[in-house]
């Protein structure tokens, strides 16, 4: 099923002549209009940016530390016990 889109917003941008030349060439290579090429490139960049902010990347050493902490959690300390008790009280009071 083809996805249709309704274009209702407009954006404008200033671009250096060399950059415009590169965009035109890339659009020609893909057989697209400059506008379609720029919109697709902007959407791809937006998706990547959003995905990067939603993903946590850890080094191998940090991944191992994280897994060990999940598999072998430390016993709750006094501060954590107080925090849980305060939470229990707040929940009881809000009912």
Q: What is the pLDDT of residues 63-92, one digit of tens each?
A: 999 999 999 999 999 999 999 999 999 998
Confidence of residue 9 (pLDDT cuts 50, 70, 90): confident
Full-model pTM: 0.57
For position 4, what pLDDT does the model report? Answer: 62
Q: How far is CA 46 from CA 6, 38, 39, 42, in A?
A: 19, 12, 10, 6
Return the H-helix or E-strand segment holding 18.
helix 17-30
For position 59, what pLDDT does the model report? Answer: 97
Of the two residues 17 and 4, the one the predictor is more confident about is 17
């Amino acid at each position: 099923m083809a996805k249709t889109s309704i274009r209702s917003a407009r954006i404008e941008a200033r671009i250096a002549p060399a950059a415009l030349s590169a965009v035109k060439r890339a659009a020609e290579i893909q057989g697209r209009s400059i506008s379609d090429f720029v919109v697709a490139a902007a959407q791809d960049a937006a998706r990547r940016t959003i995905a990067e902010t939603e993903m946590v990347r850890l080094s191998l050493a940090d991944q191992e530390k994280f897994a060990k902490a999940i598999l072998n959690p430390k016993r709750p300390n006094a501060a954590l016990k107080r925090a849980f008790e305060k939470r229990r009280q707040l929940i009881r009071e809000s009912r």
